[in-house]
Amino acid sequence: MKIERNTHIINLGSQPAMLAPMEDVTDGAFRLLCKQMGASMVFSEFVSADALIRGIDRSMQKISVSDAERPVAVQIYGRDVDSMAEAAKTVEAQAHPDMIDINWGCPVKKIAGKGAGAGMLRNPELMAQITRAVVDAVKTPVTVKTRLGWDHDSKTIVDLAERLQDCGISAITIHGRTRSQMYTGQADWTLIGAVKNNPRMKIPVIGNGDIDSALRAKQCFDNYGVDGIMVGRATFGRPWIFKEIRHYLDSGQMLDCLTDEWKLDVLRRQAQESVRLSKGGELGGIMHIRRHLAASPLFKGISNFRETRIKMLRAQTLEELMDIMNYIQQHFLHEQ
């Protein structure tokens, strides 16, 4: 799969699996780890266009990327033509990402309710106007991530994808849910497939939604013909899912050599990097890793683990967390 714009060409190889942009999840430490695990491309947390224009420190920190992450995309969101175009220029000048992604899919009320993110699905005219303005403002390839439509009665993605393509975007990612679904129910990949199979679509189509295993990743490629896939919530506490997906797509064989001790060591590294790169100090890094530790399948089904799990999620320092992880390895992992 190639993402192209003029002389800019991003070659992601065959059947790429990408890390989805997720607020408070895809910081630099996690992006780098997923990249090391085999992610074909990684995306930043979304960043407010207005905050970028004002030079808000936290937002400027979010667009900081390292060469080790590349290819990497920075995602922006907003609802105003001029501010989105100006924010794209800021991202291009400050971060030099390989791609700039526009968020037309965030369903949360504080974003969509104000007309940004998935809220723009109710205003396709303005969505197209902003998208074209962003494309015209920068030389970097611009992509879009969106949803099937606002609700069950307005699944407009087939026509909308064509319209966004006409705005000059270089690829489109589609989450197989409407805004009203939020993250409930099952993702509908049939409409993602309909976009890909539309003969008028010439740009890469990337599918997103409910990819939680290597087998499901392959099914999405095989059944819907997408150019790439994007993995979101299934990466929480499981960055090695990219290693599993990549191995299966390339070899047709399941990867079964990842031991629990190896996976725990990956989570140790993630915690250490989270603290090292955190702008909120040691506790900020610890707070960030808690979501991953709470969701990690590594700790699911361990008997008599509740008390230790609580201690792990309440750790205040990296040393305390490392001690608890060592205790887990010595007293629990061998029981599985």
pLDDT class of 333 with cuts at 50, 70, 90: confident
Sequence-distant (6+) residues with CB within 8 A of 46 are 21, 23, 75, 76, 77, 103, 106, 117
Query: For 105-114, how does the pLDDT look when each residue is reduced to its tens digit (9 = 90+)?
Result: 999 999 999 9
The answer on 194 and 276 residing in a single domain is no
27 vs 310: CA distance, rounded Å: 24
The answer on 323 and 203 residing in a single domain is no
What is the pLDDT averaged over residues 268-292? 92
Q: Contact at 8 Å (CB) between 241 and 235?
A: yes
Is 106 among the residues known to form the active site?
yes
The answer on 169 and 89 residing in a single domain is yes
The answer on 234 and 269 residing in a single domain is no
Q: What 3-state DSSP class applies to 272?
A: helix
% of the chain residues with pLDDT over 90: 95
Domain boundaries, position 270: 260-335
Could you say which of 229, 251, 273 is where a domain stops? Answer: 251
Could you say which of 197, 222, 251 is where a domain stops? Answer: 251
pLDDT class of 267 with cuts at 50, 70, 90: very high
The answer on 302 and 158 residing in a single domain is no
The answer on 265 and 247 residing in a single domain is no
The answer on 266 and 247 residing in a single domain is no
State the DSSP string of 31-56. HHHHHHTT-SEEEEEEEEHHHHHHT-
Could you say which of 233, 251, 269 is where a domain stops? Answer: 251
pLDDT for 280 equals: 84
Q: pTM above the 0.85 mark?
A: yes
Judge whether residue 200 has pLDDT over 60: yes
pLDDT class of 10 with cuts at 50, 70, 90: very high
How many domains is the chain partitioned into structurally? Answer: 2
pLDDT for 336 equals: 47
The answer on 207 and 73 residing in a single domain is yes
The answer on 242 and 264 residing in a single domain is no
Q: Which helix (H) or strand (E) holds 328?
A: helix 318-331
Q: CATH number for the domain including 196?
A: 3.20.20.70
175 vs 159: CA distance, rounded Å: 15
Q: Contact at 8 Å (CB) between 180 and 150?
A: yes
The answer on 195 and 131 residing in a single domain is yes
Which is catalytic among the residues 34, 106, 167, 220?
A: 106
The answer on 316 and 172 residing in a single domain is no
